[in-house]
Structure 1
Amino acid sequence: MQYLEPAEVLATLRAARARGAREWAMVLVTYKHGMRASEVCNLRLEDIDLKNGNILVKRLKGSLRTTQAVTEHRGEPLLNEHRAIREWLRERRADGSDYLFISQKGGQIHRSQFFRLFKRLATEVGLPPEKRHPHTLKHSLASHLVAANVNLALVKQQLGHKSIGSTMRYVRTTDRQASIATASALMAIF
């Protein structure tokens, strides 16, 4: 399973930001909500509520439908999702489409267009070929949350998994990590 290191995510977001507000917002929303390409392309204007800071994520493949926070990020401007979406909405022309992300010709952007866009960005920042698929963003979020010791139930919810088993595939541990965690927990308990 391929995922991007945090520096690779930032490099990709930087390249997307340089390309335009739509590109930045699409890549960032995909990453922060662990979305599939089709899911981000299917987002509608009504799914975004910036006033209350929410996004309705309608998952595919039998996953959960969730309402998640649209967040700001004070530490890294490239991760400020609220700003990215606001910039895109200011730039987005009214073409009668109710989709959030529209193509340059108008209407819903197709997932194959998003795939090509992401591949160009990934190539531009020097990612290896196996990391040039937008699904690596979903894997990246999961891997980053697990590495940060986020409760697996919360990771499951953010990714829209129905089963914790789907989330567990992102867990990679060593005997040393388990020993350190056990010692630390026992020190806190006793």
Structure 2
Amino acid sequence: MWKRRKARVLTRERLSDYEFFLREQEKAGNTVKKYMQSLASLRSHLAGAPITKAALIEWKEELVREYAPASVNAMIAAVNSFLNFMEWTDCRIQPLKIQRAIFRREEKELTRSEYARLVKTAEKMGKERLALVLQTITSTGIRVSELQFITMEAVRCGRAVVRCKGKSREVFLPKKLCRCLDAYMREQNRRSGLVFVTKSGKKLDRSNIWREMKSLCEEAGVSEEKVFPHNLRHLFARTYYSLEKDLSRLADILGHTNVATTRIYTAESGTIHRAQLERMGMIIT
């Protein structure tokens, strides 16, 4: 009842309680971080004023002027979750209505040949670990944060148990990848533990991987817009779907709860769609 009686002010104490709640719910670290950043944005906007429906709508309008629609909706979802926690549900605000993109932007889509050039460039530059990171993500579809589950033990049995967002799934490792990772570990004089580690033996940080990938762009002749770890996961999804056409199975492999999310990963580029229209041959005159 105290939640209802007290003024609806976004205090540090309430934010701390909510963050503790998220961690108790076993939300992923990045999810907790993004939720708290969204609430920090709202707190800055309110400047000590209480939370009201009108104030939240005003904040939403401010977000629309500064962020992409998907980012706005992510921030609204975080705030609505907090409102549920505080039992202030009468203040909840509606997300923006966004029509799902039918095609992927061509300037963002990483092609198979561009991926191959990135791997070859990494090898040429003596970045063996990076070349194997690229191939591990693209041949399995795992998230960059899930590289920590690729261990020598997983390499030996050809599959890894990946735990993410409170879920667990089994990821199979291609035989050729296992041979490459085994040879890499032998070169490192390591026969157990994580495959991908820093010089000090710690797990790789996603920001370091991102930065290393960007360093390949100029030499490989690939636009920087296309080169980021999650795009490798998209390439895996599109390639798998082109062979199997099984969206439900792909969702399981990627660790998606909702097939609608997987559908985004398999969206084709406008170039492919235009080529399909031409092949249909429906123009008679």
TM-score category (smaller protein)? 0.7 to 0.9
Quick one: which of 135, 146, 169 aligns to 1:28? Answer: 135
- Does structure 1 retain, via aligned residues, the 8 Å contact 2:110–2:235? yes
Identity %, equivalent residues: 22
Quick one: which of 114, 122, 132 aligns to 1:16? Answer: 122
Matching of residue 171 in structure 1 with residue 267 in structure 2 = yes
Higher helix share: 2
Structure scoring higher RCO (CA < 8 A, sep ≥ 6) equals 1
TM-score by length of 1: 0.73
Residue type matched to 1:8 in 2?
Answer: E
**Deviation readout 1:33-73 (Å, 9 max, x if unpaired):** 22222222x235266142x31122333xx37532122113x
Partner Cα distance (2:214, 2:239) in 1: 21
The aligned residue for residue 38 of structure 1 is 145
Q: 1:112 to 1:174 in 2, by over 3 A?
A: closer
The aligned residue for residue 188 of structure 2 is 92
| Distance apart, 1:119 and its partner CA | 1.3
| Distance apart, 1:121 and its partner CA | 2.2
The aligned residue for residue 160 of structure 2 is 55
| Distance apart, 1:127 and its partner CA | 0.9
Tell me how many residue pairs correspond in the alignment.
168
Matching of residue 160 in structure 1 with residue 255 in structure 2 = yes
- Does structure 2 retain, via aligned residues, the 8 Å contact 1:71–1:82? yes
- Does structure 1 retain, via aligned residues, the 8 Å contact 2:152–2:182? no
The aligned residue for residue 202 of structure 2 is 107
Any stretches of 5+ residues in structure 2 without a counterpart?
1-103, 281-285
The aligned residue for residue 110 of structure 2 is 4
| Distance apart, 1:12 and its partner CA | 1.5
Partner Cα distance (2:240, 2:193) in 1: 32
Partner Cα distance (1:6, 1:24) in 2: 15
| Distance apart, 1:83 and its partner CA | 2.1
Partner Cα distance (1:15, 1:56) in 2: 30
- Does structure 2 retain, via aligned residues, the 8 Å contact 1:37–1:115? no
Partner Cα distance (1:4, 1:69) in 2: 23
| Distance apart, 1:21 and its partner CA | 3.4
Partner Cα distance (1:175, 1:26) in 2: 33
CA RMSD between the two structures: 3.0
| Distance apart, 1:91 and its partner CA | 2.1
- Does structure 1 retain, via aligned residues, the 8 Å contact 2:162–2:168? yes
Partner Cα distance (2:166, 2:257) in 1: 6
Which structure is larger by alpha-carbon Rg, 1 or 2?
2
Partner Cα distance (1:126, 1:5) in 2: 12
Partner Cα distance (2:183, 2:245) in 1: 30
Which stretch shows the higher mean deviation, 165-174 or 109-118? 165-174
**Deviation readout 1:131-161 (Å, 9 max, x if unpaired):** 1211110111112222334311222122111
Q: Is the partner of 2:171 in helix, strand or coil?
A: strand
Runs of 4 or more, structure 1, over 4 Å off, are 173-178
The aligned residue for residue 188 of structure 1 is none
